[in-house]
Amino acid sequence: MDNYLIWLILGLVLLGVEMMIGSIYLLALVAGCAIACIFAFMGTTFTAQCIIAAVVAIAGVITAFIFRRNIRKKLTPNQDCDNLDKGQIITVEKIDSDGGATVSYRGSLWKAFAKEGKLEAGIYHIEKVDGTRLILIK
Q: What average pLDDT does range 56-68 have in this prediction?
A: 93
Residue 36's pLDDT band, with cuts at 50, 70 and 90, is very high
Lowest mean pLDDT segment, chosen from 17-21, 48-52, 96-100? 96-100
Taking alpha carbons only, the member of 90, 119, 86, 115 closest to residue 103 is 90
Task: Assess contact for 3 and 46: CB atoms under 8 A.
Answer: yes
pLDDT beyond 70 at 63: yes
Q: Could you tell me if 60 and 32 are in contact, meaning their C-beta atoms sit under 8 angstroms apart?
A: yes
CA dist 59 → 3, 16, 117 (Å): 23, 21, 55
Count other Cβ atoms within 10 Å, centred on residue 113: 19
Q: How high is the pLDDT of residue 2? A: 87
How far is residue 76's CA from residue 8's CA, in Å, rounded to a whole number? 38
- Verdict on whether the full-model pTM lies above 0.85: no
